[in-house]
Structure 1
Amino acid sequence: MRLTRTTKRSTFPFGLSLSKPFGELRDGPSTSSGRAVRVAVACAAALATTLALAAPPAQGVSKNEIVLGSIQDLSGPIAGFGKHVRLGMLLRVDEVNEQGGVNGRKIKLLVEDSAYDPKKAVLAAQKLVNQDKIFAMVGHIGTAQNNAAMPVQFEKNVINFFPVTAAREMYEPFHRLKYSFAATYFDQMRTALPKLVKEKNAKKVCTLYQDDDFGLEVLRGAEAGLKSMGMELVEKTSYKRGATDFSSQVARMKVAGCDFVVLGTIIRETIGTIGEARKTGFSPTFFGSSATYTDLIHKLGGKAMDGLYATHTVQHPYLDEASQPIRFWATKYKTKFNEDPTVFSVYGYNVIDGFLQAAQKAGPNLTTDSFIKAMDSLTIPADMFGGPEQTFSPKKRLGNDLSRLSQLQDGRWKVVSDYVRP
């Protein structure tokens, strides 16, 4: 059997072929066939580069669009918050899209309902991250809900941007995909509680808190604040998320002789607790975190809510005393949604505004890495709603640690302290 030695031919684009090694073509005499091959190789390289540049630079980012996701409570116990966070975000999204978007890309916001249930938050995150392919999660409401959903996001390199919760877990422990904007519940309590306890000359401080990650953050901040004064909580009582009856907890605190109660509560728990206390003749000073700083407390609870103290960063936009820019903003909000804005509308609006500032700074080639680089040198100026300046760095993922006190007086929140730094 006769063996025939053949030269292996390599096929190139445009129908050209090569039977000599590259080195021979490169080093040997210049020929028309050699030039053709070199042209073909250069064209192929240019085509590959063009295709690479045309590919989507990151999940949720296309030539004309950035897809964002958010998880809100739209049907559960804090649906009043979730609704207005969503509307505030939509207002800012509509504004920027009407102006042409950010670096030529429109914003698409997808919102899922968790009903304030961590298990539903996980399912919502899975849908947004894996099916809808969002670039970032923005303004997700709830501490336990964020803690449950973040692992789903981080597995796919999806940023958790400005969640609507003031828990320390939103920026601690450090993770490159975490950014938070709100002074923490822990620091709110730790700094404001000693001042208010001294002012009221309180002797027996107690607490009622939601038995989850949110309530525990308020509890720990209260304990830290009292420890700095050489005091301890006299009574600790809790409730399950979604509870509606607080008579037994109020009875325990009354029996303990509490003259000051720290509330790790939100809307209906705050109203239910204070209402039960008033009914039974129990009249301590009530003090809550920024989770109780909402117009819904006095709208739903009435006159009985007067006297409640709460911490906060931005202020509720009472329009009859607001500045002209806030009134202009509120008019747009009411025209679009047929209702007045709330402080949670402000949160939602500012969340999207912060994202837009970072995305603009990141430039046309928006990726997770370019967004992080932009955020890590970003300063967000003080806003028209009273919120202080926010700054970020590669090691600083909480933009603001300042909070102040307000009190419900005659059915509206009145600021009663300056900003306090931890």
Structure 2
Amino acid sequence: MMTFLDFQPRNALLNHSRSFAHRSAITLALLVVTPLHAAPGDNLTAVRDLSGKVGPIVGSALACSDISRPRIQAVIGKFQAVIRDASNSQADRDETTRLFDRSIADGRQAVANGRQDCRRAELQLADLERSIGAPVATAGALPDAATGPRSAAAAGATSATPAQPVRGVTDREITFGSVVPLSGANKESGRLLKVGIEAAFNRANEAGGVNGRMLKLVVANDDYDPNRTLDAMKQLYEKEQVFGFIGNFGTATAAVAIPYSLERRVLFFSPYTGANVTRHDPPDRYVFNYRPSYAEEADALVRYLVKLRRVPPRQIALFAQDDSFGDAGFAGVAKAYRALGLNDAAILRVNYTRNTVDVEPAINQLKAQKVPVRAVIMVATSRAAAKFIEKAHDALPGAAFVNVSAVGASALANELTLLGPQYATGVIVTQAVPAVSGYSSLVLDYKAALAKHFPGEPADYTSLEGYIEASILIQALKNAGQELNTERLIDTLESMRNIDLGLGARLSFGTAEHQASHKIWGTVLDGTGTYQPIELE
């Protein structure tokens, strides 16, 4: 393996006006990115340290539209090869890749915040290219349609490289994947998401597709079980060769799926979760959300109960799934308490286990409180929420039951109306989409698509969300143009401002903002199981 001294002549070519820290980073790049001869794992610590130095250079370059993507992809591909060579196991590789991705995001954020300019980013990338022997292309060259970092590196990509095949994209079709529950307690929510996405895809296809290509959705079932999610992701990516993912269901499942997507630099678009696992700051480059966060929904519910319903904070409890989904809801409630100047240490949380309806321990815990509970904020899936409301109806007389949108509005309404109108009446659900009974242009388009492609399928909040997220993605695909690849699509998404779908809410993305919507709608069930709109503030 070559040593530090072996690289001194080349290092002397660097611009001496740049900082010593930057020269050190490039020297490390020379030491490590040059093909390794040590045994796998010997250089893992050095590679992890280097990821925090090379990553910001790559990220800054990615944030500058005038720097051609194949140049950046060639560097990324070489560094990914280093990560593979230095790793003892898949776990080591995954962890180091996440560190590299995070440092790339830091570099992008530096440009977005004005701490770095694109001229300096270009100079740093050129230095890094010379250090590792990557071809230095003209800064303004247009990117090719390479599938991503690995293919670009393998081809020694430059701006003159012929377009390479893109995974999941042919001259006639673009294939997306979605991992949702199609069996088990949450199968209806999974089915509805699929219906909504396919309704939007079908509507686009009947109008000629996107830039001449038809859209296709392939769905894999993980039964809302994170132990099955990875196999489902692999099935879609490796066997079905999908271009990207859209509408994956769940929080604990997203915690498994997102690292898989990030390692492969594949789009993970609009998962059905409001948890922080999909909302890092700065955002993960390949992860985009449509819906508001659970923290935003919980904040709206706390304010509604305290300010409009006049419920004393000490008489509000939280019923939550005992996992990261429930933790996200609790964090949102705690944040809302602090914002109101309240003590979040006093919040009473009771739990149930994912994929069960075992709510008795939670009910007993609430019944045992000396101060009666007057309202319960619920961070649960539909069957567990319905069972809880059924048991709590008599145990907590007069209590208000308020749910975040992930409960699955229609599924919850169906469960409660089967029990009787007294169980449904007054139950509140926040929504990430407008009322399905409304007359906005988007809702009317959605209903028309349902009527044509899914005759007899009633309008539903979950399928409407699937339709909206797919509609945003379709617009991005159109804007990205004929020469489609993942990096071009990501850049397009980050440039989309004031997206007008006819929702009556402002939707925007940016380099530092990968969540399109912050709008929360309020609804309340009546005795017939129909949701009526309510004001939350």
Would you call these one fold, judging by a TM-score over 0.5?
A: yes
Distance 1:287 1:153, change over 3 A: same
Is 2:464 the counterpart of 1:346? yes
Measure, in 2, the Cα distance between the counterparts of 1:402 and 1:221.
16
Taking the TM superposition and a 5 Å limit, the aligned residue runs for 1:82-97 are 82-97=190-205
The whole-number CA distance in structure 2 between the counterparts of 1:234 and 1:151 is 32
Equivalent in 424, 429, 453 of residue 310 of structure 1 = 429
Structure showing the higher helix proportion among its residues: 2
Alignment partner, residue 157 of structure 1: 265
Query: How many angstroms does 1:149 deviate by?
Result: 0.9
Asked whether the equivalents of residues 498 and 507 of structure 2 are also in contact (C-alpha less than 8 Å), the reply is: yes
- Kindly provide the CA deviation profile for residues 207-258 of structure 1, in whole angstroms up to 9, marking residues without a partner as x: 1100111111111111111223314444211111011231221121122121
Q: Give matches, 1:54-69, under 5 Å.
A: 55-56=164-165, 58-69=166-177
2:367 is aligned to 254
Q: Which residue of 2 aligns with 1:186?
A: 295
Higher strand content, 1 or 2 = 1
Matched, 1:140 2:248: yes
What is the CA distance between 1:100 and its match in structure 2? 2.0
Q: Secondary structure at the match of 2:357?
A: coil
Compute the TM-score of the two structures, normalised by the length of structure 2.
0.64
Question: Which residue in the other structure is 2:280 paired with?
Answer: 172
- Cα distance change, pair 314–135 in 1 and its aligned pair in 2 (3 A): same
Q: What is the distance in 2 between the residues matched to 1:253 and 1:307?
A: 20
Q: CA deviation at 1:330?
A: 2.2
Cα deviations by residue, 1:111-162 (Å, 9 ceiling, x for unpaired): 1011101121111111111222211101111111111111112221111111
Q: Is the 8 A contact 1:234 1:258 kept in 2?
A: no
1:236 match: secondary structure: strand
Give, in angstroms, the shift of residue 379 of structure 1. Answer: 2.9
User: Given that residues 91 and 333 in structure 1 are in contact (C-alpha distance below 8 angstroms), is that contact kept between their aligned partners in structure 2?
Assistant: yes
Please state how far the C-alpha of 1:322 moved relative to its aligned partner. 4.5
Alignment of 1:329-408 (within 5 A): 329-337=446-454, 338-379=456-497, 381-384=499-502, 386=503, 388-408=505-525
Equivalent pairs counted in the alignment come to 368
Equivalent residue, structure 2, for 1:43: none
Contact 1:334 1:341 in 2 (8 A): no
Alignment of 1:88-127 (within 5 A): 88-127=196-235
Q: Is the 2:178–2:218 contact (alpha carbons within 8 Å) kept by the matching residues of 1?
A: yes
Whole-angstrom CA distance in 2 between matches of 1:234 and 1:166: 21
Report the equivalent of 2:339: 228
Q: What is the Cα deviation at residue 375 of structure 1?
A: 0.6
Q: Given the alignment of the two structures, is residue 285 of structure 1 paired with residue 400 of structure 2, yes or no?
A: yes
Structure 1 stretch 117-126 or stretch 387-396: which is displaced more?
387-396
Question: Quick one: higher RCO (CA 8 Å, sep 6+), 1 or 2?
Answer: 1
SS in 1 for 2:326: helix
Residues 144 and 395 of structure 1, relative CA distance in 2, 3 Å threshold: same
Q: For residue 190 of structure 1, report the CA deviation from its aligned partner.
A: 2.0
- Which deviations, in whole Å up to 9, do the C-alpha atoms of 1:154-183 show, x marking residues without a partner? 221111111111122213142111111111
How far apart in 2 are the matches of 1:290 and 1:372?
A: 27
Counterpart contact for 1:70–1:111, Cα < 8 Å = yes
TM-score, scaled relative to structure 1: 0.81
The range that moved more, 200-209 or 69-78, is 200-209
User: Residues 82-133 of structure 1: CA distance to partner in whole angstroms, max 9, x if unpaired?
Assistant: 1011011111111222222111211121110111011211111111112222
SS in 1 for 2:183: coil
Q: Which stretch of structure 1 is more off in the superposition, 323-332 or 252-261?
A: 323-332
Larger radius of gyration: 1
- Measured in 2, the distance between the counterparts of 1:104 and 1:52 equals 24
Name whichever of 73-82 and 287-296 sits farther off: 287-296
Consecutive unaligned residues in structure 1, runs of 5 or more: 1-47
- The 3-state SS of whatever aligns with 1:393 is coil
CA distance in 2, matches of 1:165, 1:353: 18
The whole-number CA distance in structure 2 between the counterparts of 1:67 and 1:328 is 23
Root-mean-square deviation (Å): 2.4
- Against the structure 1 CA distance between its residues 352 and 234, is the aligned structure 2 distance closer, same or farther, given a 3 Å change threshold? closer
Q: Which one of 225, 237, 241 corresponds to residue 350 of structure 2? A: 237
SS at match of 2:362: helix
Find the counterpart in structure 2 of residue 217 from structure 1: 328
CA contact (8 A) 1:144 1:213 kept: yes
Structure 2 segments unaligned to the other structure (5+ residues): 1-156
What is the identity percentage for the equivalent residue pairs of Structure 1 and Structure 2? Answer: 24
Q: Distance in 1 between matches of 2:173 and 2:408?
A: 35
The answer on whether the counterparts of 2:202 and 2:453 sit within 8 Å (CA) in structure 1 is: no
Give the distance between the partners of 2:519 and 2:447, measured in 1 at CA.
25
Q: 1:81 to 1:308 in 2, by over 3 A?
A: same
Cα distance, 1:325–1:357 mapped onto 2, change above 3 Å: closer
